[in-house]
């Protein structure tokens, strides 16, 4: 099963969350050779932590009907939660994610591997 990992505002010590979300909820898009999984926010609310974060996102004026979550594939079938955005800036945000992927050299980033290994041991 595809793994979705939340690394936003957290680290190994504070406990990122692994999401086992049905792939039916996602639209997959490839930009600059990187695969992204995109879902509407209502599909994302599967843990207490997500509900808390969703409350903050709602305060920013984003209706869940027009709010999306972007996951970026950093290893085969391993997607990390990257950013939340509205439908109006979705394409721009995906482009930013792909720039970050290339700029931070994720394909050769040992920290990412260590991070994923740590998370998989917790499951």
Reported residue count of the chain is 123
Q: In the chain, pLDDT over 70 holds for what percent of residues?
A: 52
Mean pLDDT computed over every residue of the chain: 68
Task: Specify burial of residue 16 (Cβ count, 10 A radius: 0-12, 13-18, 19+).
Answer: buried
Distant-in-sequence, close-in-space partners of 20: CB < 8 Å, separation ≥ 6: 1, 3, 4
| pLDDT higher than 70, residue 101 | yes
Element of type H or E holding 19? strand 17-19
| pLDDT higher than 70, residue 116 | yes
Whole-prediction pTM = 0.65
Please state the φ and ψ torsions of residue 105, each to the nearest 5 degrees: 55, 45
């Amino acid at each position: 099963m595809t793994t979705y990992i939340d690394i936003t505002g957290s680290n190994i010590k504070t406990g990122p969350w692994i999401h086992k979300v049905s792939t039916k909820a996602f639209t997959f898009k490839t930009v600059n050779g990187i695969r992204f999984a995109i879902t509407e926010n209502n599909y994302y609310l599967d843990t207490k932590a997500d509900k808390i974060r969703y409350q903050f996102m709602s305060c920013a004026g984003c209706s869940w009907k027009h709010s999306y979550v972007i996951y970026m594939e950093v290893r085969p079938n391993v997607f990390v939660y990257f950013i939340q955005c509205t439908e109006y800036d979705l394409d721009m945000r995906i482009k930013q994610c792909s720039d970050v992927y290339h700029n931070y050299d994720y394909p050769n980033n040992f920290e990412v591997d260590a991070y994923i290994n740590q998370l998989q041991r917790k499951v």
